[in-house]
Amino acid sequence: MRYVDLPGTAPACVYLHGLGLSSLATYTRVVSEPGLSRRRSILVDFLGCGFSDRPIEFGYSLEDHAQTVAALLDHLGLEQCAVIGHSFGGSVAVTLAALRPDLVGQLLLAEALLDPGGGETSRGIAGQSEAEFCASGYQSLLDEVRADALSGDPLSIAVTGGFNAVAPFALYRCAVGLVRGTQPTMRQRLLALTIPRTYFFGQMSLPNPDTEALPAAGIAVRVLPGAGHGMMWDDPSGFAAALDRALEHAPV
C-alpha cells in the first residue's frame, strides 16, 4: 500500500479517499493550505487504487481496507490519529475507529456513506456481476465520466484520473463492499463512538436529514457554502480551513 507522509505536528492527520480514487490527487491542495500544512499528514491510497498495488486475492470490503490502514498506522507507530475520510473513505474511517479505537482520536467525515446501499455510482457498479463490469461496465463508466468531464462537471473532471488508474476488479469489489456496508452499520458504529466527530456537507448536497440527526447524536455538522460532494475540489481552501477549525477545537 502506497502512502505519502508529510512531516508536521501531532496528532497525525490520516487522509482516506473516495471510491476508486487516490488521496494524493484528492488532498494534495488541501494539505498545502495554511493551517493544515503545519500538521503531519499521511495520504493513503487504498489497495487497488491510485499508486497502491492491486492484489487479486484481497477482499476489498470496508473491513479489509480498515485493517490495511490499521497495519500501516501500526507500522508507523501512530496512535490517536485524526482520520479524515471522503465518501467511501469516510465509511472506511468509521470502520477503522470501531475496530481499532486506539488508532483514532478524532473523525472528520466529508459526506461519508453511513448506511448500507451505497451511492448512485457504487449501486450502478454493484448491480452488475464482477465479470460483466470488468468486461464492459468499467469502460462504460469511464466513457460516462469522461463525457461529463468534457461538459464541465467539476466532480467528473476531478475523478477521471482516479477511475482511469484503478483496477476494475478492485473498483467493483469496493463498490460491492460499500453497498453491503458493515454489521453493525457504519451509522451505528459512528453513533457509538465517544471521540470528537465532525461531519461535513457541501451546501449543494442539501437538504439532508442528517444536518439535524447527527447533531442530536453529539456529532458536529459543518456546511461548506457553494460546494458539493467534491468539496475538496470545489473549495479546497474553504475545506482546509473547516478541517483546521475542527482539529483546533478537538479536546487534547
pLDDT, tens digit, 9 for 90 and up, residues 125-141? 999 999 999 999 999 99
Q: Where are the domains of the chain?
A: 3-117+181-248
What does the pLDDT read at residue 96?
A: 99
Cell of 27: 488532498
Residue count (the chain): 252
195 touches 107 (CB < 8 A): yes
CA distance 95 to 91: 6
What does the pLDDT read at residue 220?
A: 97
- Helices then strands, each counted (H, E), the chain: 12, 7
The label of the residue with cell 467528473 reads: 156
- Considering the domain delimited by 3-117+181-248, tell me its CATH architecture: 3-Layer(aba) Sandwich (3.40)
User: Which residues in the chain land under pLDDT 70?
Assistant: 250-252
Cell of 62: 470496508
The label of the residue with cell 458504529 reads: 189
108 touches 221 (CB < 8 A): no
What does the pLDDT read at residue 250?
A: 65
What does the pLDDT read at residue 155?
A: 87
Per-residue burial over 28-59, b = 16 or more CB atoms within 10 Å of its CB, e = otherwise: bebbebebbeebbbbbbbbbbbbebeeeeebe
CA distance 159 to 142: 10
What does the pLDDT read at residue 62?
A: 98
What is the dihedral sign for C-alpha 229, 230, 232, 237? Answer: negative
What does the pLDDT read at residue 252?
A: 44
φ, ψ dihedrals at 232, nearest 5°: -75, -15
